Homo-oligomer: A and B are copies of this chain.
Amino acid sequence: MKTNPVIGIDVGGTKILAAVVDEHGRILGRSKRKTIPRKARESGPDLVVERMAKTVQEAIQKANISPSEIAAVGASAPGPVDITIGRVFGAVNIPGWGRAYDLGPALSRLLDMPVVVDNDVNLGTLGEATFGAARGIDDVLGVFVGTGIGGGVILDGKVRRGFRWGAGEIGHMLMSCEGKHADVEALASRGAISRRLRQAVEAGESPLLADILRRRGDDRITSGVIRQALEAGDLTTRQIVASAQDVLGLHIASMVNLLDPQCIVLGGGLVESLGEAFIGPVRETAYANFFLQQDAHQVQIVQAALGDDAVVLGAAVLAGGQ
């Protein structure tokens, strides 16, 4: 029996991705546009949902199929979501979307298709657990390192959404000692690394990195810039990245000591840019801090495999009824 294709949509702070996806996770057509156009006079969820609908229609055209063939639509949102009614409680990194908004019903009206909505990082983890690095594994933690740190928890094959739709805030787990509190995101995200590197550049502690930024003519410390600084042998960058790796390794060990899952998938811009050079030391610290050492290495700590497609594919899985 042939299953009809579904739509997966990834809505982030900067761009909307939509794809037509078949039951094997193959992308039959895709489209992309800015979440908010540069010259927009207003912003907010009403504008975003219209742009989502247009992006979907374009993806359907590119797939060269009829809209009537689409079984359902899965959409992500960058914030907590009540998936039973498609309500996004707020998407703080999209201008004008601080409040709750019923994204599912609104998009469903525009497209005249059934729509399900979930948090983006939940869906990224679901994508990786279905078609990516953790394919076929039932218990998966997803840890995505970018400007912040997002995460998803899949246990017994089901996304764990939580009593208040608040589960998976992996970046907001806390580390503390002697009265100081900090969350993992503040210690180990690409954003945190970049902030510390900027301080180092300003303090004259990282001449190699300062040189890289000068030659680029752009002072943003992106994942690519961090990689260049490491490759150039910048000691300060190496130390700052190592400190983040240490925190992430401990953090993964903590979650393993609590939940003992079979697989941890590490993704996000920084991880993709640095690859095994980043994951290796994280893995080593994690294994060393598992309380149960027996069969420690059977717990996989792997790099995400789907890149920018993880969320659209996860959204497609959700639309397919998982």
Contacts and interface: CB of A to CB of B under 8 A. Distances in A.
Interface of A: 80, 89, 139, 151, 153, 155-156, 160-170, 172-183, 187, 246-247, 250-251, 253-262, 289-292, 294-295, 298-299
Given A161-B260, A163-B299, A176-B250, 9 more contacts: A153-B259, A163-B262, A164-B295, A165-B260, A167-B258, A169-B291, A173-B254, A174-B253, A255-B258
Nearest to A177: B177
A195 B156 CA distance: 40
Given A163-B299, A257-B169, A299-B164, A294 B176 contact: no
Contacts of A292: 80, 164-166, 169
A169 B139 CA distance: 17
Given A177-B178, A181-B250, A260 B291 contact: no
A191 to B, nearest CB: 16
A168 B147 CA distance: 30
B167 A177 contact: no
Contact of A170 (B166, B183, B258): B258
Q: Which residue among A167, A179, A261 has the maximum number of chain B CB atoms within 10 Å of its CB?
A: A167
Contacts of A156: 156
10 contacts: A153-B258, A164-B292, A166-B260, A166-B290, A166-B292, A167-B259, A169-B257, A169-B291, A173-B254, A177-B187
A141 to B, nearest CB: 9
Nearest to A100: B294
A94 B160 CA distance: 36
Contacts of A161: 260
Contacts of A261: 162-163
Contact of A163 (B139, B160, B183, B251): B139
A88 to B, nearest CB: 13
Contact of A258 (B165, B173, B176, B289): B173
Nearest to A168: B258
A257 B177 contact: no
Contacts of A250: 174, 176, 181
A271 B182 CA distance: 26
A164 B258 contact: no
Q: Which residue among A169, A174, A256 has the maximum number of chain B CB atoms within 10 Å of its CB?
A: A174
Contacts of A164: 260, 292, 294-295, 298-299
Contacts of A173: 254-255, 257-258
B169 A289 contact: no
A164 B294 CA distance: 8
A22 to B, nearest CB: 31
A75 B254 CA distance: 28
A71 B136 CA distance: 38
A260 B162 contact: yes
Contacts of A160: 155, 259
